[in-house]
């Protein structure tokens, strides 16, 4: 899952002189969605471009930091999305491999970074088109999302739908650790 305009409303960010985000508000429904998915047993990994301290600041302030199993930041990976190393690091942190891509979802707001990077590795891409600050028209097939949602809460229904499809196709293969 991405952070900016996927969890955090980028328009509310305040930064210090070193460009570290000191505070920001969440977008409507993001906290409830993250908590619901976590409580259902889904593994959540943050995959975000920016400074680690920025994400720690805003995710802790908004009460969602501890819901993520791992956090992959461009600052520590030394690459930005759509570079495969960002997504591969997230997969590795969750104990997943290329064999697991059919049950991995990437939720983000940027077709050039989040969607293109996920699609390149065969990860299901979900565009959250909540923010009016970004263009959502793909310039190529790799930027075409598998699914589009308009607000975070729609993700819960979509995850359940994808879970059912995956179960019908592979039997007991599930997205979450609780077998739901």
The pLDDT averaged over each successive group of 10 residues in the chain (180 residues) is 97 97 98 98 97 98 98 97 98 95 95 98 97 91 98 97 83 49
Separation between Cα atoms, residue 48 and residue 118, nearest integer Å: 13
Q: Please report the pLDDT score of residue 178 as a whole number.
A: 45
pTM of the model as a whole = 0.92
Query: What radius of gyration, in Å, describes the C-alpha atoms of the chain?
Result: 15
pLDDT tens-digit series, residues 45-94: 999 999 999 999 999 999 999 999 999 999 999 999 999 999 999 999 99
Q: Please report the pLDDT score of residue 55 as a whole number.
A: 98
Q: Please report the pLDDT score of residue 106 as a whole number.
A: 98
Domain boundaries of the chain, sorted by first residue? 10-170
> In the CATH scheme, what architecture does the domain 10-170 have?
3-Layer(aba) Sandwich (3.40)
Q: Please report the pLDDT score of residue 41 as a whole number.
A: 96
């Amino acid at each position: 899952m991405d952070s900016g305009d996927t969890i955090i409303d980028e328009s509310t960010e305040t930064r210090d002189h070193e460009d570290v985000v000191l505070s920001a508000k969440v977008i409507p429904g993001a906290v409830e969605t993250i908590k619901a998915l976590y409580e259902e047993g889904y593994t959540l990994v943050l995959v975000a471009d920016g400074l680690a301290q920025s994400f720690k600041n805003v995710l802790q302030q908004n009460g969602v930091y501890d819901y993520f199993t791992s956090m992959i930041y461009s600052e520590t990976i030394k690459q930005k999305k759509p570079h495969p190393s960002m997504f591969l690091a997230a997969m590795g942190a969750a104990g997943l491999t290329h064999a697991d891509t059919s049950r991995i979802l990437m939720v983000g707001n940027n077709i050039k970074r989040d969607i293109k990077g996920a699609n390149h590795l065969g990860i299901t891409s979900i565009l959250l088109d909540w923010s009016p600050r970004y263009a959502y028209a793909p310039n190529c097939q790799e930027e075409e999302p598998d699914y589009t949602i308009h607000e975070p809460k729609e993700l819960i229904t979509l995850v359940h739908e994808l879970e059912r499809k995956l179960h019908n196709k592979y039997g007991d293969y599930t997205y979450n650790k609780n077998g739901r």
